[in-house]
């Protein structure tokens, strides 16, 4: 039964973000394009800028609360509202530890992504020049390298982001354990 509750909680947490994205796609982005065309007066431009800023802040807040709460819910099995609140309070209580650890994890994650990109680029250069011997037919290496680096970095980011989620959940486990056993 807990798997069903978790799936409903995850679906509800995802559904919280849908109206934000809907407003962003269908309202703010067209308003910003109209503001760039110069067909709006100053008051309309101010309204567009304020709504874009407010929506962006609200989206960041929802992402932050969802990360805290969903990690807490995955550990304890609480319902959505209770888990969101307790996860947020746990993060506030151990804020310094969370921020320091997440910064170290972000630096480590970026370093891993960079190493993957460089190794893949070296492999690309080795295969294209030595094994395939195609280096003489390319007029410029720059477009091929840019596409290769971009695709590699996006793929590495998709897989390395799981590491950050697992690390965040383990930090939440440590925080809950510290609370239960008084340090």
Cβ distance 21 to 1 under 8 Å?
A: no
pLDDT band at 2 (very low <50, low <70, confident <90, very high): very low
pLDDT digits (tens, 9 = 90+) for 154-165: 988 888 888 887
pLDDT > 70? residue 38: no
Four-CA torsion 28, 33, 39, 42, nearest 10 degrees: 50
Give pLDDT, residue 18. 75
Among the ranges 6-20, 22-36, 49-63, which has the highest mean pLDDT value? 49-63
Do residues 164 and 103 touch, judged by C-beta distance below 8 A? Answer: no
Residue bearing the bigger pLDDT, 20 or 174 = 174
Give the pLDDT confidence of 82-137 residue by residue, as tens digits: 888 888 888 888 888 888 888 888 899 899 999 999 999 888 888 777 766 655 66
Confidence class of residue 5 from pLDDT cuts 50, 70 and 90? Answer: low
Please give the structure tokens belonging to residue 17. Answer: 């973000």
Q: Dump the DSSP string for 17-66.
A: HHHHHHHIIIIIHHHHHHHHHT-S-HHHHHHHHHHHHHHHHHHHHHHHHH
The per-residue pLDDT for 116 is 92
pLDDT of residue 6: 59
Residues 41-84: tens digit of each pLDDT: 777 778 777 877 887 787 777 777 777 777 888 788 887 778 88
User: Residue 128 is encoded by which pair of tokens?
Assistant: 């294209």
| Whole-number pLDDT of residue 36 | 63
pLDDT of residue 87: 83
Q: Which two tokens stand for residue 180?
A: 């239960």
Instruction: Check residue 137 and give its pLDDT.
Output: 63
């Amino acid at each position: 039964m807990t798997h069903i509750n978790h799936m409903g909680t995850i679906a509800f947490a995802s559904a919280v973000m849908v109206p934000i994205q809907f407003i962003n796609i269908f309202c703010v982005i067209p308003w910003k394009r109209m503001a760039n065309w110069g067909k709006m007066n100053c008051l309309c431009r101010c309204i567009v800028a304020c709504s874009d800023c407010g929506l962006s802040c609200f989206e960041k807040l929802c992402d932050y609360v969802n990360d805290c709460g969903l990690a807490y819910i995955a550990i304890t099995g609480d319902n959505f509202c209770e888990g969101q609140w307790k996860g947020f309070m746990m993060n506030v209580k151990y804020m310094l530890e969370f921020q320091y650890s997440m910064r170290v994890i972000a630096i480590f994650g970026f370093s891993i992504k960079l190493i993957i990109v460089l190794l893949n680029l070296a492999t690309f250069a080795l295969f294209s020049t030595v094994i395939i011997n195609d280096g003489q037919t390319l007029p410029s290496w720059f477009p091929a390298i840019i596409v290769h680096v971009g695709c590699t970095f996006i793929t590495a980011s998709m897989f390395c982001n799981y590491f950050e989620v697992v690390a965040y959940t383990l930090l939440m486990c440590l925080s809950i354990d510290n609370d239960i056993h008084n340090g």
